[in-house]
Structure 1
Amino acid sequence: MAEYDFIVVGAGSAGCVLANRLTEDGRHSVLLIEAGGSDLSPWIWMPIGYGKTFYRASVNWMYMTEPNPELDGRPSYWPRGKVMGGSSAINAMVYVRGQPEDFEDWKAMGNPGWGWDDVLPWFRKMETNDAGGSAFRGDSGPLHVTTTTSGIHPLCRHFIAAGQELGWPHNPDFNGARQEGVGAYQITVKDGLRMSAARAYIRPARHRANLHLRPNALAMRVLFEGSRAIGVVYRHRGQQVQARARREVILSAGAVNSPQLLQLSGVGPAGLLRGLGIPVRHALEGVGRNLQDHLCIDHLYRSRLPSLNEQLRPWHGKLAQGLRYVLARRGPLAMGVNQAGGFVSTRPAGGRANMQLFFSPLSYTKAPPGKRPLMSPDPFPGFLLSAQPTRPTSRGHLAIRSADPAQPPEIQPNYLATESDRKDLLDAARLLRRLAAAPALAAIIAEELRPGAGVQGDAALFADCRARAGTVFHPVGTCRMGPDPACDVVDSRLRVHGVGGLRVVDASVFPTLTSGNTNAPVIMVAEKAADMILSGPAA
């Protein structure tokens, strides 16, 4: 059995960070196991190519949830990265840290060391912002963050102006001194190429003798001696292989696969495990519970002015933009489609933003469910306005269906289970109507296509939300960090309660969902965890 100091399961946003940082000084050996393969695909490296990887099984787990009662019984499609870089290789690249209050909430839930002042240094350490360093931003980290203001489509400026007409300030940096306002999003792109976690952290480290990469390897279970994790069993090239960890096993497989692997290994709800014939190694009821996700509603418009549709729909437009990208790495192919947006409050007293906005200067009215064909938009000018409540209160769960690691788990997001979430989503739809009525946008709207002018009144508007609202692909919380082993899974140092030599480091440890996109805080968690692991005693 091969031995390493650390075994990291999952080469996603967190696992890539850990593999780099734990091997950086040359003292420790790391085995990095990834179920997917290489990220060397043009559809991964070209920013807008995520429209292709969104539904590609070779790089994507392509999960489906259980039907959700409050969404008219619809299941949700959950793309998750199965490739070097994980979901950072197939996401929309929007870079948002969250609000300082999000992390103060984490600390208040019994997690010392996770308040805003505690995590800010790690956010700064991980990034190189193209606008330079500051008290809030980094200028020498491995993850490059690009400001898109100069490259956004002209329609985005109408959205920003409409927001200002509603009293929201223009914010040039949602990751700076404040998050509130409207503006252009920053994205994880450098020189016109996607800056995934694999590009940022693994490519500079891949030739280190103490880093052992094992792609196309499916982790099957964690190995134990007594109550201590001592290794991993994985399937590689049709064979079962065992690897031993001298110090720690670290699960970084994400909010779906980390709790799945714990349950497969006998760590989780005892009743579930016994019912499937899995020996209970350690009963931990919180594994797979506390699932949270962002739910979003889109409104779609026909535009009086040109949009990206005319550039990306016809063959000659594809050719022109393709040549522009190949020759200069510029243009719409070098960006995402969520080009502008913002964070605002719909609460009467104002205060902390509770809504995230997205503006996309293209439209697609005939997309298959769960799919956005970014290179085949509508044959007329159009755009999308979207809004998502930032801090949902509904909680779902995740559970394995069998002892077979290749079988997808049961995922029940439980969207809109609380009255608070139902009210917030209706407020989101009302907010989009207010935005569309602001003079700067009203002047360029030829027609509201979805939900349409016939949908009037709160009841009809909420019925449209139930029929069309969808995930923004931010699942977290299924191995929640907290002090209580009765409901939490890891402690504030991300060590699994009641089990030695085992940590979880990824989005599953989030106590609550952060206010915005989740890739940036996942990378921060991994940076902080790496320092914890190297500077403290073994778990």
Structure 2
Amino acid sequence: MSAKIENVTDKSFDYVIIGGGTAGLTLAARLSEDPSKTVCVLEAGDPNINDPAILAPAAYASQFGNKQYDWNFATTKQKFCSDRIFPWSRGRGLGGSSGINFYQWAKPPAEEIDDWESLGNPGWNWKNFQKYVQRAERFVEPAAELREKFKIPLHEGDLGTKGTLPISFPRTFSEAETYFMQTAKNAGISTAPRPYGGNPNGFFWMINSLDQQTSTRSYACTAYYMPNRDRPNLTVLTGAHVARIVSDEGTDGNLTITGVEFLHGEKGHVVYVKKEAIICAGALKSPQILELSGIGNRSVLEKVGVEVKVDLPGLGENMQEHIFGAFSWELKPEHDFLGFNELLNPIGLAQHKALYKNLKGALTMGIVSFSYSPLETVAGTSRAQEIYERARAQVDTLDPARTPTGLREQYAILLARLRPGVLPAGPGCEVTGVTTTAFGVSVEEGRSYFSWSYSMNHPLSRGHVHITSADPMVDPELDPHYFEHETDLDVFMEAAKFARNLVQHAPLKDMVAREVAPGPSVQTDEQLMQYVKETCSTSWHTCGTCSMMPRDKGGVVDHELRVYGTNNLRVVDLSIAPLHVASHTQSVVYAIAEQAADIIKGTFER
């Protein structure tokens, strides 16, 4: 399906896209719509086309740790999180992380996308986000019977129906979902007014990136590459590990990119650039490629012997990541609902594989019960005010001489999101109901289980990604600085307490047999904090490492996504997001790539 090395090596293309993941394939499809422009995509992984391990639904995390599908990164020891090293899975192969994610199709609050524009990026606002994300969306309505039974809204006008990527509600809902929703409402979470129209504050059913007709994964490879793979002007080479970008210094003092060096079959090759090189390697790899090419913080580059071509101190900084944890319970025997836990034993898995052939059973379900709430909702006004005051005091102590202007502006926005009584409130606390146990929790056959997961989506802590070697095969150092800013742990703990306390509300209150994780031995705040630190996980939503902000504020790319100090090099992926959002990020990546395509083609209108 993909090109051979002789189709690429020593050849010239108008656009060379580094990374065939979610953004890279979206961008390649759009740029190659013009038959007069040639597009080459370099992807380090394998094609993985028509692979059941990717297409089969409900196979959550089954690809993690497998080099066929996963880069299998890991963080440094996290000083403020029990010295843990966190595995950070990222998609490897055509489609990138859209091929191994958990299918969630969410959209951020409108004001949080508008915040990107306020940080110095004209045109990056909610109005344009909706325009471009709907260019990707092809929403398929649920079956009438399912819609009526679970009272599923269609979000008319807020979702695109003619786009490239099929999205839908799963074919099957567990009966447990209605109990999740009613319990959340009884705990004080109202229905989200417009979860796909800019206001996800509350509880709602979440759409999945699934093809409803087949109950298979819908992702960048199936939606953007496969329909366009035969275009004569589109060349996609897999197994191509980019080593560095080749450049000359122009008469204006900026770099002009002339080629891209890459490894293929352990041999070095080069492909030449006629118009632009575009890095779409994600928030962890895009900074690495830039640093290997001599673009980045002088001290980082000189330490590993890379010639400094553009001194860009903000590169690799401003890393932000969502984090989540979970609690699990066993249900009383009379409450025997269809759930993912049935897939955890060989007999149950075999039964549901047989049902799946007729598009029935647990393999046609998804994770759909979600809520987003401001801190005040989950912690109460008094505790939220206390956390806000503490956060403000910490921010006030920052040394202006050592804190980039852009970061100070971000903190001002984040404090406003935290502050009780300020509208619109930032719904940074996420709680999700799932019909199985948390990762690593053992189950008994014949029993039913469920979990509430909790997330913190507006981190104040800032991490980094930097190379430690000039060897492109050596992974960069990944350090998210989890909980370095104490406010993050404060908020995370309140979200955890709220999630755990949900079972004290009807109807789940009368349905629970026992708590299995963490269990009755964890009672005090100190014990709970230890459990939270030992069991929390990344949400795989890293952003900010090539932040789109003015250069003098710590930015790496401008509002047209062009890398500062270069004439024809851009970054198009989640790394450009300067400030994180209360949302799963799949839709955000598609929207970034769709808007970037118009910017590059010169058709973008603010």
What's the offset of the Cα at 1:430?
1.3
Aligned equivalent of 2:228, options 184, 190, 205: 205
- Per the alignment, residue 216 of structure 2 pairs with 193
- Per the alignment, residue 370 of structure 1 pairs with none
The aligned runs of 1:513-532 (5 Å cut-off) are 513-532=580-599
SS in 1 for 2:514: strand
What's the offset of the Cα at 1:72?
0.4
Structure 1 residues not aligned, in runs of 5+: 368-375
Letter in 2 for 1:169: S
- Per the alignment, residue 239 of structure 2 pairs with 216
- Per the alignment, residue 550 of structure 2 pairs with 483
Aligned equivalent of 1:328, options 342, 358, 383: 358
Distance 1:353 1:81 in 2: 28
For the structure 1 residues 310 and 456, does the alpha-carbon distance in structure 2 shift closer, same or farther, using more than 3 Å as the test? closer
- Per the alignment, residue 181 of structure 2 pairs with 160
Say whether 1:359 aligns with 2:387: no
> 1:484-510: per-residue Cα shift (whole Å, max 9, x none)?
246110000100011111000001000
What's the offset of the Cα at 1:310?
5.7
Letter in 1 for 2:18: V
- Per the alignment, residue 238 of structure 1 pairs with 266
What's the offset of the Cα at 1:138?
0.5
Distance 1:306 1:441 in 2: 13
Say whether 1:343 aligns with 2:364: no
Distance 2:562 2:47 in 1: 30
Q: Give RMSD over aligned pairs.
A: 1.9
Indicate conservation of the 8 Å contact 1:96/1:518, yes or no: yes
- Per the alignment, residue 59 of structure 2 pairs with 49
Indicate conservation of the 8 Å contact 2:45/2:68, yes or no: yes
Letter in 2 for 1:362: T
The aligned runs of 1:52-451 (5 Å cut-off) are 52-131=62-141, 134-148=156-170, 151-171=172-192, 174-176=195-197, 178-190=199-211, 191=213, 192-226=215-249, 227-304=255-332, 305-307=335-337, 308=339, 311-325=342-356, 327-336=357-366, 338-347=367-376, 348=381, 349=420, 351-363=425-437, 366=440, 378-379=444-445, 380-451=447-518
> 1:380-407: per-residue Cα shift (whole Å, max 9, x none)?
3211111112211110001111011111
Distance 1:19 1:443 in 2: 53
Distance 1:221 1:240 in 2: 11
For the structure 1 residues 310 and 515, does the alpha-carbon distance in structure 2 shift closer, same or farther, using more than 3 Å as the test? closer
Distance 1:478 1:237 in 2: 29
Indicate conservation of the 8 Å contact 1:3/1:246, yes or no: yes
Indicate conservation of the 8 Å contact 2:340/2:362, yes or no: no
Deviates more, 1:439-448 or 1:499-508: 439-448
Distance 1:138 1:536 in 2: 20
Letter in 1 for 2:281: A
> 1:277-328: per-residue Cα shift (whole Å, max 9, x none)?
1111111111110111011121111122225256323433222210121x22
For the structure 1 residues 517 and 377, does the alpha-carbon distance in structure 2 shift closer, same or farther, using more than 3 Å as the test? farther
Deviates more, 1:9-18 or 1:172-181: 172-181
Distance 2:244 2:482 in 1: 30
Distance 1:209 1:134 in 2: 38
Indicate conservation of the 8 Å contact 1:255/1:478, yes or no: yes
Letter in 2 for 1:257: K
> 1:315-344: per-residue Cα shift (whole Å, max 9, x none)?
33222210121x2233322344x3312112
The aligned runs of 1:464-475 (5 Å cut-off) are 464-475=531-542
What's the offset of the Cα at 1:26?
1.1
Distance 2:567 2:292 in 1: 17
What's the offset of the Cα at 1:363?
1.5
- Per the alignment, residue 493 of structure 1 pairs with 560
Name which one, 1 or 2, has greater alpha-carbon Rg. Answer: 2
> 1:143-187: per-residue Cα shift (whole Å, max 9, x none)?
111123x62211121111101112322349631352122132211
Indicate conservation of the 8 Å contact 1:309/1:381, yes or no: no
Q: TM-score, normalised on structure 2? A: 0.84
Deviates more, 1:73-82 or 1:135-144: 135-144
Letter in 2 for 1:144: P
- Per the alignment, residue 38 of structure 1 pairs with 47
Indicate conservation of the 8 Å contact 2:193/2:201, yes or no: no
Distance 1:280 1:28 in 2: 32
Distance 2:183 2:553 in 1: 48
What's the offset of the Cα at 1:377?
5.8
Structure 1 ranges of 4+ moved more than 4 A = none
What's the offset of the Cα at 1:266?
0.6
Distance 1:366 1:130 in 2: 34
Letter in 2 for 1:355: C
Distance 1:484 1:415 in 2: 26
For the structure 1 residues 488 and 157, does the alpha-carbon distance in structure 2 shift closer, same or farther, using more than 3 Å as the test? same
Structure 2 residues not aligned, in runs of 5+: 1-9, 142-153, 250-254, 382-419
Letter in 2 for 1:140: K
SS in 1 for 2:493: helix
Q: TM-score, normalised on structure 1? A: 0.94
Indicate conservation of the 8 Å contact 2:287/2:546, yes or no: yes
Distance 1:437 1:85 in 2: 42
What's the offset of the Cα at 1:49?
2.6
Indicate conservation of the 8 Å contact 1:152/1:184, yes or no: no
SS in 1 for 2:204: strand
